[in-house]
């Protein structure tokens, strides 16, 4: 209603303008009046068409931006998935096929995406390999640790990646990273595992891989409460462990 009133006022102004111009010439010709009105009307019509074209152009830009954003997101997701797949195959090498079967089993058991599990397993395998673990040992532990990271994430209601990095930190000796997930591993726990390995000097002569292995074993022993809490989300962890190992 407000727009129609403004358009009506505009038309009235046009008529007044024409009548003033004709009156100023002293010519009361009705033909000239209507001729002038037609010229003014054409000008107004062209202005309106210009505004419409601008609106359509703006709509096109908005639609293009939205469409481009969606397409861009798909392209980015595809590139990330390809990168994850490449890293996964490079990390596990000739064990990639077997590792993929493990990843598929974990996906079925946890409901995670394949990309999430591949990424977690790859990061953990790379980390363990860097600590001196052999290929087979690193691959086996990456599977177990990925499941543990999933349990930690569910127990605290956070993303898998956050839990995975905390678990990785714990293996490297950052006990505080694990505490926020309810996993409490002390130095005494680690020394006990080292002692069981035959290292009776409290770990002074332990290699990097032996220290990491002792931490992994200690962490696994402390995962009970976390598994129980995670089980409240609907995952039967005891059944999962039987299926995967």
Q: How far apart are CA 123 and CA 217, in angstroms?
A: 19
Q: How far apart are CA 196 and CA 132, in angstroms?
A: 20
Which residues does 81 contact at the CB level (< 8 Å), separation at least 6?
A: 115
| Element containing residue 80 per DSSP (H, E) | helix 30-92
Chain centre distance of CA 91: 22
Residue 226: what pLDDT? 87
Residue 204: what pLDDT? 87
Residue 26: what pLDDT? 44
The predicted-structure confidence for 59-115, as pLDDT tens digits, reads as follows 666 566 556 666 665 576 678 889 999 999 999 999 999 999 999 998 988 889 999
Sign for the CA dihedral angle at 227, 88, 102, 113 comes to: positive
């Amino acid at each position: 209603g407000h727009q129609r009133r403004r358009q009506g006022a505009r038309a009235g102004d046009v008529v007044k303008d024409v009548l003033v111009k004709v009156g100023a010439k002293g010519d009361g010709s009705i033909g000239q009046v209507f001729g002038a009105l037609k010229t003014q009307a054409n000008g107004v019509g062209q202005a309106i068409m210009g505004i419409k074209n601008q609106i359509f152009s703006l709509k096109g830009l908005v639609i293009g931006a939205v469409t481009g954003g969606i397409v861009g997101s798909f392209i980015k997701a595809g590139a990330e998935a390809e990168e994850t797949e490449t890293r996964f195959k490079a990390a596990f090498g000739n064990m990639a096929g077997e590792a993929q079967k493990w990843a598929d089993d974990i996906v079925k058991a946890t409901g995670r995406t394949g990309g999430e599990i591949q990424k977690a397993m790859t990061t953990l395998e790379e980390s363990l390999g860097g600590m001196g673990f052999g290929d087979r040992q690193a691959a086996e532990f990456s599977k177990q640790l990925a499941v543990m990271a999933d349990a930690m994430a569910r127990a605290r209601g956070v993303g898998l990646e956050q839990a995975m990095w905390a678990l990785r930190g714990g293996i490297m000796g950052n006990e505080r990273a694990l505490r926020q997930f309810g996993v409490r591993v002390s130095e005494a726990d680690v020394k006990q595992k080292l002692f069981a390995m035959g290292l009776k000097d409290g770990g002074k002569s332990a290699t990097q891989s032996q220290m990491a292995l002792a931490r992994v074993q200690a962490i696994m022993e402390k995962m009970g409460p976390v598994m129980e809490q995670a089980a409240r989300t609907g995952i039967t962890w005891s059944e999962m462990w039987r299926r995967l190992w």
